[in-house]
Amino acid sequence: MFYKSGKEGMIYVDHTSINMKSNIITALKIMAIVVVLTIINCGLLVASFLLPTSSMRQHFADSYPLIESEHQYLQWDQGYTSSMLDFWSEYTLYGIAINEDAEGTAFDKAMFMWYIDTPGLDRDQAVLTYARYPEEYFELTAYPRYWNGVVIFMKLLLMVFTISDIRMLSMFIHFALFAATVILMYKNNLKTEIIFLTTAILFINPITMIYSVIFSSEYIPMLLCIMAILFFGDKIARKKGGWEMLFALTAAITSFFCFNSTPYIAWAIPMVVYIWYTGEVNVVKKTISASFYWCGSYALTWAMKWIICTLFTPFNLIKQVIERVDIYENNDNPDNPGVTLTERIMHNLWAYKTPAFIILFIVVVLFIVLIALRDKKAEILHVSTESNMIDIIVGYSLIAFIPFALYIALGNGYSYNHAFMTHRLLAITVLAVLCIIHRATCYCLGRTGNKKIG
């Protein structure tokens, strides 16, 4: 607040109030856009259930040699948890995509998400048997808690391709997006940061992402958000509330399409790139602001599924969600009785207690210390103020803590039982820690008077 002169003397101007009103208006606009986007996506999901399923079913049946050679939790590199696939969930969604026996309207099918659940058969075999022998009777079970919008792409792809084709196309898309991301980072003079981001993605394990449509539904939005920051950053920055809008839209898309395995990589990893792109000033403020809009939008989009289903169908999905949350939060549920918080966190950490990942982390740390000795950017960091360095370290530390906050908040039902998926969130911590090590090293070199050579 301050006073400014006017015809009638000094006029009191309350900038705190003005900024508060402006922020509220921005938040309301973004919330309205997220609601509209989710309704549009809902319409697309409903429309996908109007598509004929005969070709989808046939292409899935034609995939039987591949499916029969695998199993529900394929681990393509034994001993490395990040190489494990969640085909139970994958084929649950494929079962929803090819299901032509569920009753009700397309809207009902989109809300309830009926999948093949034949007693005595694993999920992959149940769906494969359904696809190959349509004359037999099969049990159906609803899976309404998520939007599962990725079913739209599953349906469209299965109309033309087999599972093998889809995986190969997925590889092309993933590598194209990552290559484009690297090129954009290079053009934006984020050469050193390419190493940090690549290391984080290796901890996510991009090969596993290629295998899985449900993992791709979280990994691809992450890459697309990063590309938007690097390609459209100047335009986004010029628009009031532009950055907040980007993170809100990324969250809405991720929430709608994902299966809630590791969606938070689409939150924190682009947020670090946003900090790099806009400059490492007010890092704590940027982290809090971006997180607020991402998490709020993600929750709003997800909650809209519960509200729409409860209002427009006879089923009270909100009640089921509340009951399910209790199961996920219950640290003494039958699947893991007596598991402590420490055990829950360590269960995720131990996924990376393997030679390859330990060597990778050590080599990268040594490499970035060497970079700090020679990188031209070190000259800039040499003159960083102490308060700015505190802001940088605290901001990145908040980001590094995000996976642990999720492990604590989401309970054993999520982060212990599903550690074979949730451990990948630690890629966020790896990225933030590498940033801290590099920035702190550069700063310390500057304080001790060491200068770059050449």
Alpha-carbon span 211 to 171, nearest angstrom: 8
Alpha-carbon span 169 to 188, nearest angstrom: 29
Phi and psi torsions of 114, nearest 5°: -75, 130
Asked if 182 contacts 273 with a C-beta cutoff of 8 angstroms, the reply is no
Closest CA to 443 of 399, 396, 379, 395: 379
Alpha-carbon span 215 to 375, nearest angstrom: 35
| CB-based contacts of 206, cutoff 8 Å, min separation 6 | 174, 178, 219
pLDDT in tens, 331-364: 555 566 678 899 999 999 999 999 999 999 999 9
User: What pLDDT, on the 0 to 100 scale, is given for residue 5?
Assistant: 44
pLDDT grade for 453, boundaries at 50, 70 and 90 = very low
pLDDT grade for 372, boundaries at 50, 70 and 90 = confident
Report, in this order, helix, strand and coil percent for the chain, each rounded to 5: 70, 5, 25
List the beta bridge partners of residue 115. Answer: 141
Alpha-carbon span 286 to 271, nearest angstrom: 8
Looking at every residue in the chain, the average pLDDT score rounds to 89
The DSSP string of 413-448 is: HHHTTTHHHHGGGHHHHHHHHHHHHHHHHHHHHHHT
Q: Record the pTM.
A: 0.90
More confident residue, 9 or 313: 313
Buried b (16+ CB within 10 A) or exposed e, 183-205: ebbeebebebbeebbbbbbbbbb
More confident residue, 8 or 147: 147
Compute the CA torsion angle 281, 288, 37, 185 (nearest 10 deg). 30
Triad 220, 94, 121: Cα angle to 5°: 135
